Amino acid sequence: MFGSDFGDILPWTGAQDRGRASKLAGRVAAVDLTARERQVLALIARGKGNPEIGTDLNLTEGTVKVHVNNILTKLGVASRTEALALALRRDLVRLDDREDIRQCFRVAAMGYGK
Delineate the domains of the chain, giving CATH numbers in brackets.
35-110 (1.10.10.10)
- The pLDDT, as a whole number, for residue 71 is 96
φ, ψ dihedrals at 5, nearest 5°: -120, 115
pLDDT band at 88 (very low <50, low <70, confident <90, very high): confident
Mean pLDDT of 13-30: 55
Segment among 15-19, 30-34, 97-101 with least mean pLDDT: 15-19
- The pLDDT, as a whole number, for residue 31 is 77
Question: Could you give the angle at which helices 98-110 and 80-89 cross, rounded to 10 degrees?
Answer: 140
C-beta separation of 15 from 29 below 8 A: no
How far does CA 78 lie from the centroid of its chain? 12
- The pLDDT, as a whole number, for residue 50 is 94
- The pLDDT, as a whole number, for residue 36 is 96
Question: Taking 60 as the threshold, does the pLDDT of residue 78 lie above it?
Answer: yes
